[in-house]
Amino acid sequence: MSRTVKVSLAVVFVFCLALTVVFVVSRAGDSEQADAQASMTVRDDSPRLSTPTESKATFVEFLDFECEGCGAAYPAVEQLRQTYGDQVTFVVRYFPLPGHFNADRAARAVAAAAEQGQFEPMYRKMFDTQRSWGEQRVPLDDLFFSYAQELGLDMDRFAADYNSQATRELIDRDVADGKALGVSGTPTFFINDELIKPESYDDLSSALESAIRQ
């Protein structure tokens, strides 16, 4: 074999090796990015509305309890839970919008109730009563405290959690995660870490059916 041919083969070998390294690094980068997105979509302490023994998919909603769109989506999400709750993990992330005067207070009330194992009852209470308190420009702390009393919560503990730094950090983290994932409004849905933009209940149902079959 001539010296020229040997040099050429060496160059080809080095080039192929470089491409392999680039490909491996690229795949590793893609995997790390996907893992990072997954960790932002659902956190270990994110409240769950369902926890099936064998979950086949994860449904995440970034929501604002004062948002009319979230209120309109609420019955659809409840219907999805009834249909797929034994197969799908339903997760809630807090995303109170700055334009809604009491949205952050509502999120804090739900988070505080969750500390006493009453996340779902307070979640339901917020949406069931949304029309009576939404779009008001006065603080409604007293109203949300009355909801906690109706649920039989320890009110001293509720007050402490409602105003705690831990609750503040939890909500702020959800908002930061949402923004990093491209959430700009509510409701925003993810199925298995993939952003979906449904226009109807059937769109949501079809997306879940597809995720379950994968």
Place 25 in a pLDDT band, splitting at 50, 70 and 90.
very low
Of 144, 76, 73, 137, nearest to 106 by C-alpha is 144
Query: If you average pLDDT over residues 168-196, what whole number do you get?
Result: 97
CA-to-CA distance for 137 and 102, rounded, in angstroms? Answer: 8
What is the per-residue pLDDT for 156? 98
pLDDT tens by residue, 104-158: 999 999 999 999 999 999 999 999 999 999 999 999 999 999 999 999 999 999 9
Quote the pLDDT of residue 12.
Answer: 42
The string of pLDDT tens digits covering residues 65-96 is: 999 999 999 999 999 999 999 999 999 999 99
Alpha-carbon span 123 to 137, nearest angstrom: 21
The answer on pLDDT for 206 being more than 60 is yes
Q: Which of 13, 33, 14 is nearest to 25 (CA)?
A: 33
Kindly report, residue by residue over 148-177, the tens digit of the pLDDT: 999 999 999 999 999 999 999 999 999 999
Structure pTM? 0.83
pLDDT number for residue 117: 98
Residue 211 has a pLDDT of 96
Q: How far is CA 118 from the centre of its chain?
A: 19
Question: Quick check: 18 pLDDT over 80?
Answer: no
